[in-house]
Amino acid sequence: MIFIYFKLLYIAFKLINDEDRELKRLSVVLMALLYSLNVWSAPLKETTCNEKGACVEIESITDFVVKKESSFYVTLLDNVESVQDLKIYLWMIMPGGHEHGTAPLKITALEANKFLCEKALFVMKGKWQIKVEYKNKGQEYKFVQNLILE
């Protein structure tokens, strides 16, 4: 989220030319304010690949906000006919090194390779991961999408 925030800030800087100093200053203040109030949360659409060359795409439907139920799509960009034991879950890595999950997601298959994941509840601020795991032809596949929730 921080990364996307700075990316947006960069775009804002590029869009507003140097003559519009006041406008630029205003947009920076506004974005900083939204960010500090924790009401700004960026959508996500990322493709994650593993060392075997298989990929999954994760696309948020709602924004990912702490203590609010979120939902997202997971699309397997692999040969899905032989995929078994699909697991999609949230994982948190705490500052002290402790790790934990959450209540299970509600997962609905929309297509053979596309899944709707609901009831994703990020219970606290910090470093989160969306984990996708499955087996395909006797091999295990694991994907990790990192998220920082402020």
Tell me which residues touch Cu ion (CB under 5 A).
92, 94, 124
Can you tell me the distance from the alpha carbon of 143 to that of 129, in angstroms, rounded to the nearest whole number? 10
Minimum separation from the CB atom of position 95 to Cu ion (A): 9
Minimum separation from the CB atom of position 94 to Cu ion (A): 5
Please identify, using beta-carbon distances, which residue of 43 and 101 lies nearer to Cu ion: 101
Asked whether the beta carbons of 43 and 63 are under 8 A apart, the reply is: yes
Can you tell me the distance from the alpha carbon of 64 to that of 82, in angstroms, rounded to the nearest whole number? 31
Minimum separation from the CB atom of position 128 to Cu ion (A): 9
Show Cβ contacts of residue 125 under 8 Å, excluding neighbours closer than 6 positions. 66, 149, 150
Please identify, using beta-carbon distances, which residue of 98 and 137 lies nearer to Cu ion: 98
Please identify, using beta-carbon distances, which residue of 49 and 124 lies nearer to Cu ion: 124
Minimum separation from the CB atom of position 104 to Cu ion (A): 17
Strand segments (E) across 50-95: 55-60, 69-76, 83-93
Please identify, using beta-carbon distances, which residue of 53 and 96 lies nearer to Cu ion: 96
